[in-house]
Amino acid sequence: MSLFLSAAISGVALGLLYGLIGFAIVMLYKSTGVANFAQGSLATLGAFVAFTFVRDLGLPLPVAILLALVISAGIGIVTFFVVMRPRAEAGNLNVTVRTLGLSLLLLALMEWQWGPQAPYRFPSIVEGSGITVANVVLTPQNLLVAGVSAAIAALLWAFFRYTKAGLSLRALAEQPETARLLGLRSSRLGAMTWAISCILGTIVAVLLAPSAFLLPTMMDSYIMFTFTGIVLGGLTSFPGAMLGCVIVGIISNVTIVAFNFEMSVVVIFVLMLIGMLLKPQGILGKPDAVRL
């Protein structure tokens, strides 16, 4: 029983990580109508950048992570201007498939550069034996994930509530046309959205890498579970995405412990279908009304 309980607890931590990526995906979806399928590969790339700094340049881990975050932001901005913005009028499907193409391109580049020797062992960020509460061990990794997630959630909340850039992004997400007419600079904001998405992705990948081993396809199953969490929680709701992702994190972890990985994939898929049948707009999502 305590095995399941600790699986559930690390599931919560995992779900929080999904939630952070989910947050990036929802933000992009709300402001541009594009589902970013490249989020996983972009995140993995960030982790590889940090790893290279540590292994090849011998930088201390915190410095390497910090540098990787800065570089991720740059990659996000370049992605926006090179891949997303040109001829965006070709439609949302076109741009969504571009993210899939980008994902394949990044994956191919990472396989070419780092693939042959993968998987790598990514250094742990925290050491120690953790805290024991009523027979259940809270590992330092789980505590770190929970702490970072809470901190980032608070930071993002403040950002979207109090800063001009955050408010502008919200305006763009709610009413893109009106926001543009009011003079918000949509390309600058778009670039910022991509930078934030990539930073969030890198944070998640760096937190995952110590326990998941670093390899180019590391995020494949994670990104799938993240999307499931978003669909379950509601496509357009930030708290919904977080909630859905945590549910998925717990259930996937418990089914892996109870059965195996394949079973957990099937269970999560069935969960998604049931969610779609019962609440197509998601747990906290609003049904979208069509204007006629």
Partner 1 sequence: MIAGDAKSNTLVPSVIIASGVTLAGVALPLDTSLQYTLIASVAWAIAAVGLDLLVGYTGQVSFGQAAFVALGAYAVTALRVHLGFPLPLAILVGVGLVAGIAIVLGSIVLRLRIFGLAVSTLFFGYVVITALMGDGLAPIFGGSNGILAPTFDLIGTDPRALMLMSGIVLIIVVLVTANITSSQTGRALRMIKHNEAVASATGIKVKRVKLFAFVYCSVLAAIGGVLYSGVVGYLSPDGFGIDQSISIFAMMVVGGAGTIGGPILGALLITVVPGYFLRDGHTSAIIFAAILLVFLILLPEGLYGLGQRAIAGIRRSLRRVWPQRRSSSVAVVASDAEGEADLRGGASRISAARMELPGDTGDGPALEIDDIRVQFGDFVALDEVSIAVRRGSVHAIVGPNGAGKTTLLNAVSGLYVPVKGEIRLLGESTKGLLPHQIRQRGVIRTFQTPATVPDLDVLENVKLGLDADERSSFWIDFFGSLTTRKRERALEAEAHWALDAVGIPRSRRTLMVKGLDLSEQKRVELARGLVGHAKILLLDEPTAGLSVAEMDVLAQVLKDVHERFDLTIMVISHHIGFILEIADELTVLDYGRVIANGEPDEVLKRQIVAETFLGVEAEPDALAQEENA
Q: Which residues bind partner 1 (CB under 8 A)?
A: 29, 35, 37, 83, 86-87, 90-98, 100-102, 104-105, 107-109, 111-112, 115, 220-221, 224, 227-228, 230-231, 235, 260-262, 265-266, 269, 272-273, 276-277, 280, 286, 288-290, 292
Looking at beta carbons only, is 112 or 157 nearer to partner 1?
Answer: 112
Helix or strand (DSSP H, E) at 171: helix 164-174
Looking at beta carbons only, is 138 or 267 nearer to partner 1?
Answer: 267
Helix (H, G, I), strand (E, B) or coil at 129: coil
In the complex, minimum distance from the CB of residue 174 to partner 1, in angstroms, rounded to a whole number: 16
In the complex, minimum distance from the CB of residue 59 to partner 1, in angstroms, rounded to a whole number: 28
In the complex, minimum distance from the CB of residue 103 to partner 1, in angstroms, rounded to a whole number: 8
Looking at beta carbons only, is 95 or 200 nearer to partner 1?
Answer: 95
Retrieve residue 288's tokens.
């979208």
In the complex, minimum distance from the CB of residue 248 to partner 1, in angstroms, rounded to a whole number: 11
In the complex, minimum distance from the CB of residue 47 to partner 1, in angstroms, rounded to a whole number: 20
